[in-house]
Structures are given as structure tokens and as C-alpha cells.
Amino acid sequence: MSGSVRNLILTGGIGHPFADAAPALEGILAGVGVVSTVTDDIEGGLVALEQGGFDLLTVYALRWRMLGSEKYAPHRERWAFSLSPDGRRRLRTFVTGGGGLLGLHTALICFDDWPDWKELLGGAWVWGRSAHPPRGPVTLVPTDVSHPLTTGLPPFTVTDEAYGDFDLAGDVRPLALVAPDGGRAWPALWARDAGLGRVVADTLGHDRASLEHLVHRQILTRAALWACRRPL
């Protein structure tokens, strides 16, 4: 690969060890020349994104409005979030203008009052319907769709959360599936175009151990390079 890729990782939120896992992700991507800046300041990060120099935006966060259940009350002041109109514009412009977007795990749940997020990422959590079984063994199985992200990769099992019953954009062609509790299989990996940009969504990645699984880390590095149109 000629030259490094500059990546902005937006992270932070509840119920997940982002403080440990996001640096692990940074290290995994560094192995293929992706140099990351990690921040939990979503709006500030998107300002930096607009100022230029980044090739890839990675959303590995759990930032939404935290409405409803009072179990979120202790966390709302620190982590409840609604992306501003300027933030939405910056994110959309970056991706549709040719930037890469990598959405990991809880990225599906982020920005829950912004309908365009589903159209950019390709999928979005639906409160009151979407769900996952308790964290446990999850097997990701590549589909028969031919794509550089999954070429030659076998199924693999990690301890993770298998998301299901979320909304998908109409043009998503799943590259891999998971079957929560042995039930209906749900897309767990896809890649698509968004304007001039490229997008990869990977619904696994609860923690460092999941990210660092030998096969999963191959998917992550391939995803980062593919989204930025770099050789894999």
C-alpha cells in the first residue's frame, strides 16, 4: 500500500468496554498502515473531519438519545446524544463526497433520531423491535456473495452479541450472517456505495477479544482498506 490511511474513530458509550476495545481496534488497523485518531467527542471529531486530511471515518460508539427506560438515567448526562444538524451535514458530506465509512457493532444504534443514518450505514436499530440474545458464542458465516472482504475466509465463532430485527436499506447484499439463538439469520457484514463513498458495516465487535479474533481482524483490516479504495 502506498501511503498511510488517516482514520477518525468516534467511540464511547455505555455497556461496552470501548476504552479498552477502541485502542485495540486502532492497533489492528495500524498493522495495515491505517493511522487512527480516537475520540469520544463526536461533534468535535466531525469538525476535524470536515477540516480535512482523513480518508476513513469509523463509528465504534453507542451514542443515542437514551429515551424510555430509567435504567439509562444515571448515564444520560454523560452519554445521551443527538447529532446536530451541522454534525449530520459533516458526516454525510464526508461519506458521499468520497470518504470511507466503517460502522462497527453498536454503530447501528447510534444517531437514532437521524433517518439518513440508516441510508448511509445500510442499517439501523429499531427501539422496541431490534434485539440480541445475551452475550455468548456467535458464529459468523460468509454468504455466497463474492467480495474482497470475505474471499477465502471461513466461518468463525466469537463471544459477542448477535444483533437482529433491525432495519436494512433496500440495496444491502449481506456478505455474512449470524443466527441469534439459532433462529432467523441476520446480516452481520455488508459493504456498499454511498454517493462517491464506500461503506462497510460489521455488527460484531463487542470487545477487544472479538476484534482480535484472527479471522475477524482480517475482516476489519480488509474493510478499512476497501472503504478507502486501497489495495487489500
Q: Is the pLDDT of residue 104 over 50?
A: yes
| CATH (one of 3.40.50.10860, 2.40.40.20, 3.40.190.10, 3.40.50.880) for 5-227 | 3.40.50.880
Residue 2 pLDDT more than 60? no
Segments making up each domain of the chain, as ranges: 5-227
Tens of pLDDT, residue by residue over 43-61, are: 999 999 999 999 999 999 9
Residues 39 and 98: their CA atoms lie apart, in Å, by: 22
Asked if pLDDT for residue 116 goes beyond 90, the answer is yes
The mean pLDDT value of the chain amounts to 96
Res 11 pLDDT > 60: yes
Task: Record the cell numbers describing residue 105, joined without a space.
Answer: 457493532
Q: Would you tell me how many other CB atoms lie within 10 Å of the CB of residue 173?
A: 12
- Give pLDDT tens digits for 177-220: 998 777 789 999 999 999 999 999 999 999 999 999 999 999 99
Residue 3: pLDDT band (50, 70, 90) is low
